[in-house]
Amino acid sequence: MSHFAQVVRVPGDPILGLIEAYRADPNPAKLDLGVGVYKDARGLTPIPQAVKRAEQRLVETETSKSYIGGHGDPLFGARLAELVLGADSPLLAAQRAGASQTPGGTGALRLAADFIAHCLPGRGIWLSEPTWPIHETLFAAAGLRIGHYPYVGADNRLDVEAMLAALNQLPKGDVVLLHACCHNPTGFDLAPRDWKRVLEVVKARELLPLIDFAYQGFGDGLEDDAWAVRLFASELPELLVTSSCSKNFGLYRERTGALLVCAATPDKLQDVRSQLASLARNLWSTPPAHGAAVVATILDDAELKALWIDELEAMRQRVASLRLGLVEALRPYGLAERFAHIAEQRGMFSYTGLTPAQVQRLRAEDSVYLVGSGRANVAGLDANRLDDLASAIARVCG
């Protein structure tokens, strides 16, 4: 008898398929705008100098590889909570907020999902349409009821009115997932006035917000990007925030992130955290140490922190200038207005508005690789070849 005879093959992640097709493409002028990692002008995903220096320090000073606790490195948790909520956060002073270290932002999302499934039974979770595809599969894997609220209209623009109208209909007590900044996959972020309106609906419908914060520092800057999270934390008694250090610290494969909980009282925070440690025991037991130790070392050292902030700001500015550069390159083709949203979006991703057929033509005729939805990773652009890309876009749009 074959135990595995009944096991069928599932299709791979479509973005991984795109990476393979890109690798196999012999065209030297090929352009990878698919994969979701930051790239510098050389097309590389660099290790920040601040990370390198922190790692050197750790190699010299580390004395044990014994397990770290269920909530991870306490210094990492404390410094990350300050980064997200603000060093002067009244919640931190009141011991109403705490961070549990997780393997990346994905681990934080899965821990949040299991917490909701286990401790808040019956609550559904509402995701933006579209959202990061892993949100869909991860919350389904945890057994949660999933619903969607509209986010982008048929005109490829943020549709705040439709979003608010849908949120206003949600069952009381359900969980709503919001992207803190740099919405993946669209790049469309809520303006402060929109966030305030969403907050009012969250209060009126007594929803629990779960804010996914995977790109702090990539939108308008480290502090500005945290504005909505801090608004919600100051106005609501309870909140969940998932934080990822993959992009902003360049620590992708080190799996570094945290689930932050804000609770009404210090005592209730400890109740929730006890559940998180217990749930994590069944997921990964204790989190991996290295990436969090790197982040803690950087954030706890004024010099390293200043270096990291400069490096992060350079990444942010590169993406922002590529956005502007592409729109300018499209101007001679009369397409600057049509693609003006690319400059207004934030973060690495852009819902360009290119159709699946146009994406297909760009790949076949120009070796430009985008996700079928028209999502482009702006960081993958080459500043010296924006004109080539603009001419290719003009051709497939013509």
Ligand X SMILES: Cc1ncc(COP(=O)(O)O)c(C=O)c1O
Which of 89, 100, 101, 106 is the binder for ligand X (CB under 6 A)? 106
Return the range that interacts with ligand X (CB under 6 A); candidates 103-111, 153-161, 267-275, 357-365: 103-111
Give yes or no for residue 352 binding ligand X (CB under 6 A): no
Give yes or no for residue 105 binding ligand X (CB under 6 A): yes
The answer to whether the beta carbons of residues 256 and 80 sit under 8 Å apart is no
Give yes or no for residue 100 binding ligand X (CB under 6 A): no
Which of 116, 202, 207, 214 is the binder for ligand X (CB under 6 A)? 214
For β-strands 349-351 and 31-32, DSSP reports them as unpaired
Give yes or no for residue 219 binding ligand X (CB under 6 A): no
- Cα 103 to Cα 107: distance, rounded to the nearest angstrom: 5
| Pick from 48, 76, 104, 54: nearest CA to 294 | 54
Residue, CB closest to ligand X: 104
Give yes or no for residue 116 binding ligand X (CB under 6 A): no
- Cα 132 to Cα 215: distance, rounded to the nearest angstrom: 13
| Pick from 229, 291, 228: nearest CA to 256 | 291
Which of 128, 186, 244, 297 is the binder for ligand X (CB under 6 A)? 244
Which of 36, 70, 150, 219 is the binder for ligand X (CB under 6 A)? 36
- What six digits make up the tokens of 180? 């803190």
For the chain, the farthest-separated pair of C-alpha atoms sits apart, in whole angstroms, at 67
Give me the 124-153 binding string for ligand X, x by CB under 6 A, dash otherwise.
Answer: --------x---------------------
Give whichever of 246 and 352 is closer to ligand X, judged by the CB atom. Answer: 246
All residues at 6 or more sequence positions from 338 whose CB lies less than 8 Å from its CB, including other chains:
330, 353, 397
- 273-297: buried (b, 16+ CB within 10 Å) or exposed (e) per residue? bebbbebbeeeeebbbbebbbbbbb
Give yes or no for residue 187 binding ligand X (CB under 6 A): no
Using CB atoms within 10 A of its CB, is residue 118 exposed (0-12), middle (13-18) or buried (19+)?
middle
- Cα 349 to Cα 334: distance, rounded to the nearest angstrom: 23
Least CB distance from residue 166 to ligand X, whole Å?
Answer: 20
Give whichever of 218 and 329 is closer to ligand X, judged by the CB atom. Answer: 218
Catalytic residue positions, numbered? 132, 212, 247
- Binding residues for ligand X, rule CB under 6 A, total 13
Give me the 353-382 binding string for ligand X, x by CB under 6 A, dash otherwise.
Answer: ------------------------------
Binding site for ligand X (CB under 6 A): 36, 104-106, 132, 179, 184, 212, 214, 244, 246, 252, 257
